Amino acid sequence: MSISKEADPHLKLFDTQKPLSRCDDAVQCDLGFHPPYAWDALLAFLADRLIAGVEHVDKRHYLRSLALESMGKAYVGWVHVSLSLHKPALSVTVSSSLSRAIPLVLERVGRLFDVFYNPQEVAPAVQALLPIAGLRVPGAVDGFELGVRAIVGQQVSIKAARTLLGRIARRFGGTVITPNAMVTKTFPNAKTLAECARGDLTTLGITTKRATSIMALAQAVATNTLILTPKAHISQTIAQLKDLPGIGEWTAQYIAMRALSWPDAFPHTDLGVKRALGEHRPQKILAMAEAWRPWRAYATIGLWASPSPHAHDRPDRPRSHHHGVSEHGDH
């Protein structure tokens, strides 16, 4: 990893005509990865699911706000990520407001973009499922945020989930200045949502069941009862998640896949997985997936991206045949 200072006060980060706001010095870093790396596919995944006000994606760049705590101190700023043109690495620009937490910032960005994964280590049975070489499992910069994404995404389309998540960020998120006028909010932390009233969420269009789930998740994370990081104990955390109201097997596995960075997570009840495999019996799917251990999360990404006529949706959540909602939703 290399780091340098970017002194230009007008960071021209995007191929866009949108005006950029003035920002201070930033730190430039490189995050290396093991090629091949399917950058375009990962960026498209994130673009499809971006939270308005929190993230911005174009064909070559990703920008988002970031709020975190390190060594007992709170930091708020932004990160910009693009593919290096000269080496197998991601070029990461970090706002100076986050400079004292650089190791933590880079670890989180690395998880989001799955740079710690080596494609050469994956079993041939899994590699055979990947329609694009170097496909990655999109992670998360914040486990709680990912958990809320998963809950809000239950039984609704990707577009509807994006709308609801944007409303949550606008209503409860903090304010941040970034190089792009479209990114002005941070996603609310667990403590903020744990303290809100259920009606504060339902007025945004979130169902009562989903609001109850979000608040329960927020309370568990805010009190450190539940840890949603890659260092968490996998089976214990999945069990804790499933003990929360409204979180079942699919949601727990999805959170394990993206927030815990568990390479063997497998949402086997996902309709996209069923369509790609041409099989709808859960136990049969689990038996088929034994050959993919311990890389079932990568097999899932491959199935979602599959050009198979069974997998035309490429969802990141289960969908029904009619409305793009969950066939096996958590209750």
Task: Report, as residue numbers or ranges, the catalytic residues.
Answer: 270
Residues 6+ apart with CB under 8 A from 35: 88, 119, 134
- Please tell me whether residue 36 adopts helix, strand or coil conformation: coil
Query: For residues 191 and 174, what is the distance between their CA atoms, to the nearest angstrom?
Result: 13
Which helix (DSSP H) or strand (DSSP E) does residue 289 occupy? helix 282-289
- What tokens appear for 266 in the block? 């497998």
β-strand partners of 55? 52, 64
Q: How many CB atoms lie within 10 A of CB 156?
A: 23
CB 7 within 8 A of CB 173: no
Q: Of all residues in the chain, what percent are helix, strand and coil, respectively (each to 5)?
A: 40, 15, 45
Query: For residues 177 and 186, what is the distance between their CA atoms, to the nearest angstrom?
Result: 10
Report the Cα 5 to chain-centroid distance in Å: 28
CB 38 within 8 A of CB 134: yes
**DSSP per-residue codes, 219-263:** HHHHTTSS--STTS-HHHHHHHHHHSTT--HHHHHHHHHHTS--T
Angle of the 249-258 helix axis to the 234-243 helix axis, nearest 10: 140
